Structure 1
Amino acid sequence: MFPVDDPDTDEYELAEIIDDLTVRFHMSRPTASFSSYLVGQLGIVVSPTWLRAAMDDPTLNQAPVGTGPFRLDSRVQDQMTRFVRNDDYWNGDVYLDAVEFYVYTDTEIAADAMSVGDLDVVATSNVDAILSLRDQDGLMLIEDDTGEEGFGMLNTSKAPFNDIRARKALTYATARQDYLEFIGQGILRPADTWFTPEHPFHNPDVVQEAD
């Protein structure tokens, strides 16, 4: 699963299969993010039958299989994907006949579709869309900013950002408060670390410098 000669996965050694339901991972160094990998794409257990077939037939990438409450019915790429109830679902009753996911490249348009009843659920981090939805009656809004942050990543192993002066120059050139006021419009809040002030891992002593 994690080749020992892969430079991108140097924190792993070869995984060990214990039995049909157990795998032991051997870490070559502490890796705090490992548990989060297992609840993302890396941790998804796919059907080996489907996986072998998909390696021979790339079109099967658009026809995944799984054990969830719904199964793929149809898909129009970049437009809509439809799932229907899986009558063989292992974990109880499935109360919906089908679920359709529509692709909107502009979430403000998606918010408008939500307002007129064309959609039942919209997930967005677009500030203008959130403000628009806040003004609508009859909608249930769930707002949560504890799981997402906007940030830039710098390669500090190479010039110019291996020099702390270059990193500080970029930081001081960032007008964070102006961004929060004019772009965030009162929706966004500053982030000094990956953890919000409500999180137990938040460190109030860490403060990001800015213009």
Structure 2
Amino acid sequence: MKKRLVILSLVAMLGMSLIACTNGNSGEKANSQKEKKIAVGLNLYQTNLDPALEWNGWFVSMYGIGETLIKFNKNMEIEPLLSDSWKKVDDLTWKFHIREGVKFQNGNPLTANAVKSSMDRALKANPRTQEMLNINTITVDGQELTITTKAPHTTLLGNLADPINSIIDTSSPEDTIAKAPVGTGPFKIKSYTDSSEVVVERYDDYWGGKALINQATFKYIKDDNTRSMALQSGELDVANNVSINNLSLFEDKSKYAISKAASLRIVMSYFNFNNEFLKDPAVRKAIALGVDRESYASTLLKGSAAPAIGPFPGSLPFGNKNLNGYKYNPAEAIKILNSAGYIDTDGDKILEKNGKKLSLNIAVFPTRAEIPVIGEAMQAQLKEIGIDANIKSYESVNPILKSGDFDLSLYNVNTATTGDPQSFLEIYFRTGGTSNFGKYSNKNVDALIDQYKNEYDTEKRYETATKIQQILLDDNASLFLVAPMSNMVSKNTVSGMEAYPIDFYMLDNKVDIK
């Protein structure tokens, strides 16, 4: 009887143990199946999700949807992505091997033919792609893709990393691409709300390994204060480009993490060379002397930026080296204007010439917090040298730039997305460049830019870049103001989402949330 009782007790204990184990495993399984989601607040937004149009490719890359043949790491070094190897055959020919085993988010395989189709589409859709790549032919042999260029192209690899060259499945219906492009990234589109929100979900068959989170929601919140409050309230897990005035709200390391990076951006102002006053070199030079870059960087932006000399940040090997820029000198600015015939005849402190007051509009936009602040400071300082400056604020600056309906227009631009100066100089300052909205033109600049195409020596390329920058400064082709830092603020439960020197990397398969 005692033996029977012992056996029954052991059986009962074993059963309870099995039940406990089963319950424990069920709990662990339920916990492991709990979906991980994050919400991200952005200060800028795309026009749609077609990577070949406008600058939309940057967002397609940020959202983890699209990938390029090549990418940059945080040190701006080139790394393989959809192309796992390449070689330069001659000055005009490059061969790329397309990575095996990659699938689009609809299950279709990534082939060299699919890459060619995507690139052909982008080349046809956007003149900026044509400028960047200067492609003559694209041919395919198995998984080998061969690109020939119209001229030697030393920066082709870096230019291919620009997300305008994101590879998408062109076999998808054309009318779906604007809202749901099919890429190869770790996340695919779940929903798209125009001018408001994009939701992406994990693509489980991603070639680089399944993402750690299930879903990410990207919300367009252009107002910095609203975006910061949403992060404080818990509506957001991450916010990008928080203004320097609001960063202090997130200094509690037990709650938040602040990631900063020296960006490759410059805040500059276009000069409209069709404006009757801005055609005058004296007026442009007076403006260059009449704005205080040092105070903008140190006081207005509280040390979160550096005063600019030329179009490239000083952290780059071709930025600010051996350049003669402008120091704040309002007295000299007034002297130059007076010598050019601009005189205050009626005592209102605004200069006139040929019966016309020297009046200019400054276009600003709110999606970059520093732009309106710098615009107001410029307005006050230009009035001190006799220029009637008026602020005009727009929802988005790009339509204004394209229309040419501006005098000066502030702009925040990433000037070295390819790790080399050529692309920016060509697009923004070559005669007829796609982003040369001020219509600046100088034959010497055009000729020097063309020299790049046949120059492979890095130091000589940088020397040429310096010559071009000095001409731009002497001509006052644009007004270069400050080089700002980038930042990203997140809850301390988020990991893997940090500020990059360039803007088009954000969500990948390593991002996680506790």
> In which range does the TM-score fall when normalised by the shorter chain?
0.7 to 0.9
Q: Give the match for residue 37 of structure 1.
A: 159
Q: Deviations over 1:39-68 (max 9, x none)?
A: 223311221212xx21xx3x5411221111
SS across alignment from 1:200: coil
Equivalent residue for 2:147? 24
Match of 2:168 among 46, 50, 71: 46
Q: For the aligned residues, what is the CA RMSD?
A: 3.2
- What is the aligned counterpart of 2:303 among 169, 177, 186? 186
Asked whether the equivalents of residues 297 and 307 of structure 2 are also in contact (C-alpha less than 8 Å), the reply is yes
**Residue of structure 1 aligned with 2:232, choices 101, 115, 135:** 115
TM-score, with structure 1 as normaliser: 0.77
Aligned residues: 203
Deviations 1:78-112 (A, max 9, x none): 22211111112111122111111111011222122
Query: In structure 2, what is the equivalent of residue 133 of structure 1?
Result: 250
Q: Does 1:94 align with 2:211?
A: yes
Q: Report the equivalent of 1:205.
A: 322
**Which runs of no fewer than 5 residues in structure 1 stay unpaired?**
none
Q: Is the 8 A contact 1:71 1:84 kept in 2?
A: yes
Normalised to the residue count of structure 2, the TM-score between the two structures is 0.35
Distance 1:8 1:64 in 2: 18
Cα 1:38–1:156, aligned 2, differ >3 Å: closer, same or farther?
Answer: farther
Deviating more after overlay: 98-107 vs 149-158: 149-158
Q: Identity rate of aligned residues, in percent?
A: 21
* Matching of residues 139-150 of structure 1 within 5 Å: 139-150=256-267
Question: Which residue does 1:66 correspond to in 2?
Answer: 183
- The one-letter code of the counterpart of 1:113 is A
SS of the counterpart of 2:191?
Answer: strand
Alignment correspondent of 2:48:
none
Distance 1:171 1:135, change over 3 A: farther
User: Is 80-89 or 133-142 further displaced after alignment?
Assistant: 133-142
2:438 matched residue in structure 1: none
Q: 1:10 to 1:81 in 2, by over 3 A?
A: closer
Contact 2:297–2:306 (8 Å) recurs in 1: yes
The answer on whether the counterparts of 2:313 and 2:320 sit within 8 Å (CA) in structure 1 is: no
What do residues 140-167 of structure 1 show as CA deviations (whole Å, max 9, x unaligned)?
A: 1111133222112346699765654343
Distance 1:179 1:13, change over 3 A: same
Maintained 8 Å contact 1:114/1:121: yes
Q: Which is helix-richer, 1 or 2?
A: 2
Structure 2: any 5+ residue segments left out of the alignment? 1-119, 329-514
The answer (yes or no) to whether the contact 1:108–1:128 under 8 Å persists in 2 is: no
Cα deviation for residue 194 of structure 1 reads 4.1
CA distance in 2, matches of 1:7, 1:36: 14
Aligned mates of 2:220, 2:198 — CA distance in 1: 9
Instruction: Find the aligned partners of 2:252 and 2:302 in 1 and give their Cα distance.
Output: 15
Range moving further from structure 2, 75-84 or 36-45: 36-45
> In structure 2, how many angstroms separate the alpha carbons of the residues matched to 1:8 and 1:24?
14
Say which SS state the counterpart of residue 269 (structure 2) adopts. Answer: coil
* Deviation of the 1:136 alpha carbon: 6.9
1:14, CA displacement in angstroms? 2.1
SS of residue matched to 1:169? helix
**Bigger mean CA deviation after superposition, 164-173 or 22-31:** 22-31
Quickly say closer, same or farther: Cα 1:42–1:79, change in 2 above 3 A: closer
Please, which of 55, 78, 84 is the counterpart of residue 201 of structure 2? 84
In structure 2, the CA distance between the partners of 1:158 and 1:21, relative to structure 1 (3 Å rule), is farther
The CA distance in 2 between the partners of 1:15 and 1:168, in whole Å, is 44
Greater relative contact order, per chain length (Cα 8 Å cut-off, separation 6+): 2
**2: distance between equivalents of 1:180 and 1:158?**
29
Q: Are the aligned partners of 1:127 and 1:184 in contact in 2 as well (CA < 8 Å)?
A: yes
CA 18–196 in structure 1, closer or farther in 2 if over 3 Å, else same: same
Looking at CA atoms only, which structure, 1 or 2, has the larger radius of gyration?
2
